[in-house]
């Protein structure tokens, strides 16, 4: 069920019974976990949605993600970011996957998105096993969860039943997806419009503990930052790194200390004045977000626990269910 909202975003599921085979290292919810009342899944999303129609749905997704991660560990950050971009523009309806002139995929903020081929490959396998059954929105949600698991976040259970949208507009992504220079006020307003809170904002920003950003996204921070918000040696490193090559294609690790580990190093870096993006560093200096940054810097396991909670909810926001959407035969195009 969609809810109206103002949009502006950042950077990426749901809930219930934990299958025995799903246990993994890291945080996982107990069997009897019940979400807060205000965070119940949308009507139409249920556990076991594909239990009869496509019983190996989760297994197919998990195996594909595991294989892709073994070949390229950076796919995890790519999928989380892809999932968040889908959520940010119009909710979790797989609109970001549509490959058509004028779609979200062709927005400036989408230029460096990755994971499209993996999602399409999973869809192809599922269509062979369970034709016209599993939505692309559910595939993206499950793949993001499994990618997060691969980097050590832990496993969380999902509800399914999302349907795919039929609209995808480049201008919407251009308007609402951020470029790393938004104010904390803008970001808080966006999250609150989605039923998320300041804690969710800070916790989900922690996904920047893995992945990279382009020098084009970094340069505004180098030009405008004051010494008290940017470590001098780190600033010098970034200037050297981004001086050479194409700013759009030269990449810098979001977490320069532990770039391949999903840990709370992102928050520690903010305390060291080593946040890569301007929007990240601002969170240490804003009274609404500072205490959460400091808490996550002190409590690595609490960060992972909260990340699971926020991601669980993210996949329930503004979903299409029932007759509100469709199940695409191919994720990159709507049905005709």
Residues labelled as active-site residues: 85
286 annotated to a ligand binding site: no
Does 104 appear as a known binding residue? yes
Which neighbouring-strand residues pair with 320? Answer: 163
CA terminus-to-terminus distance, the chain: 23
The annotation status of 91 as a binding-site residue, yes or no, is: yes
Q: Is 46 annotated as a binding residue?
A: no
Give the residue from 225, 172, 180, 228 showing the smallest Cα distance to 205: 180
Q: Of 150, 144, 107, which Cα lies nearest the Cα of 122?
A: 144
Question: 3-state SS of the chain: helix, strand, coil percent to 5?
Answer: 50, 5, 45
In whole angstroms, give the CA distance from residue 216 to residue 134.
37
For residue 56, say whether it is annotated as part of any ligand binding site: no
Would you state the structure tokens that stand for residue 295, as one six-digit string? 């808490």
State yes or no: 178 annotated in a binding site. yes
Annotated binding residue 258: yes
Three-state DSSP class for 326? Answer: strand
Query: Is 255 annotated as contributing to ligand binding?
Result: yes
Q: Does 310 belong to an annotated binding site?
A: no
Residue 195 assigned to a binding site: no
Region for residue 110 given its phi and psi (left: phi exceeds 0; alpha: psi -120 to 50; beta: otherwise): alpha
Q: Is the dihedral of CA 146, 151, 157, 160 positive or negative?
A: negative
Residue 220 counted as an annotated binding residue:
no
Helices 198-205, 278-285: inter-axial angle, 10-degree rounding: 130
- Residue 249, annotated ligand binder? no
Q: Which residues are annotated as a binding site for heme b?
A: 208
Binding-site residues from annotation for Ca(2+): 86, 89, 91, 93, 95, 104, 209, 255, 258, 263
- Feature table: binding site: 86, 89, 91, 93, 95, 104, 178, 208-209, 255, 258, 263
Task: Mark the binding-site residues for substrate, compressed into ranges.
Answer: 178
């Amino acid at each position: 069920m969609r809810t109206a909202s103002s949009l502006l975003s950042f950077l990426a599921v749901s809930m219930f019974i934990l299958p025995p085979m799903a246990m993994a290292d890291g945080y996982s919810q107990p069997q009897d976990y019940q979400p807060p009342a205000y965070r119940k899944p949308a009507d139409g999303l249920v556990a076991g949605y594909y239990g009869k129609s496509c019983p190996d749905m989760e297994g197919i997704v998990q195996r594909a993600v595991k294989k892709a991660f073994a070949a390229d560990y950076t796919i995890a950050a790519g999928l989380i970011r892809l999932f968040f971009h889908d959520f940010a523009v119009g909710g979790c309806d797989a609109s970001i996957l549509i490959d058509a002139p004028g779609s979200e995929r062709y927005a400036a903020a989408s230029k460096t998105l990755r994971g499209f081929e993996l999602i399409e490959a999973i869809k192809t396998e599922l269509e062979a096993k369970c034709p016209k059954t599993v939505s692309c929105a559910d595939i993206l949600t499950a793949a993001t969860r499994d990618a997060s698991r691969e980097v050590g976040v832990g496993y969380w259970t999902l509800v399914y039943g999302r349907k795919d949208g039929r609209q995808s507009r480049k201008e919407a992504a251009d308007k609402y997806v951020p470029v790393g220079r938004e104010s904390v006020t803008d970001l808080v307003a966006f999250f609150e419009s989605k039923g998320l809170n300041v804690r969710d904002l800070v916790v989900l920003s922690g996904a920047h503990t893995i992945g990279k950003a382009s020098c084009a996204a970094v340069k505004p921070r180098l030009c405008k930052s004051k010494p008290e918000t940017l470590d001098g040696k780190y600033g010098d490193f970034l200037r050297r790194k981004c001086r050479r090559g194409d700013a759009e294609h030269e990449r810098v690790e979001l977490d320069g200390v532990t770039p391949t580990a999903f840990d709370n190093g992102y928050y520690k870096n903010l305390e060291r004045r080593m946040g890569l993006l301007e929007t990240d560093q601002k969170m240490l200096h804003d009274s609404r977000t500072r205490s959460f940054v400091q808490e996550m810097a002190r409590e690595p396991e609490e960060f992972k626990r909260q990340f699971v909670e926020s991601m669980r909810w993210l996949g329930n926001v503004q979903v299409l269910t029932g007759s509100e959407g469709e199940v695409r035969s191919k994720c990159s195009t709507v049905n005709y």
